[in-house]
Amino acid sequence: MSARWYGGLHIRGLDRDQTPITDLYCTACHHHERVTGRAKVTDYLRANPLSEHRARCTPTTT
């Protein structure tokens, strides 16, 4: 059974000796992005991914 996904920006693995992972999931259009690695996650978060995605999001209807 897969875990339930909640929309938004999820960051984990910030403890020492762990690899940081960031997931962005949009519940409106079901878009998913994953970034791994300390430097990549830092750059990704500085770019404000939620605002960038909101500008190009096309919600789907089901």
The predicted-structure confidence for 18-61, as pLDDT tens digits, reads as follows 999 999 999 999 999 999 999 999 999 999 999 999 999 988 86
pTM of the model: 0.79
Indicate the DSSP class of residue 48.
-
Residue 2 has pLDDT above 70, yes or no: no
Q: What is the pLDDT of residue 26?
A: 92
Tokens 């962005």 sit at which residue? 24
Residue 1 has pLDDT above 60, yes or no: no
Domain boundaries defined on the chain: 8-56
Rounded Cα distance between 31 and 44, Å, is: 16
Q: How many CB atoms lie within 10 A of CB 52?
A: 11
Phi, psi angles (nearest 5°) of residue 45: -70, -30
Q: What is the pLDDT of residue 32?
A: 94
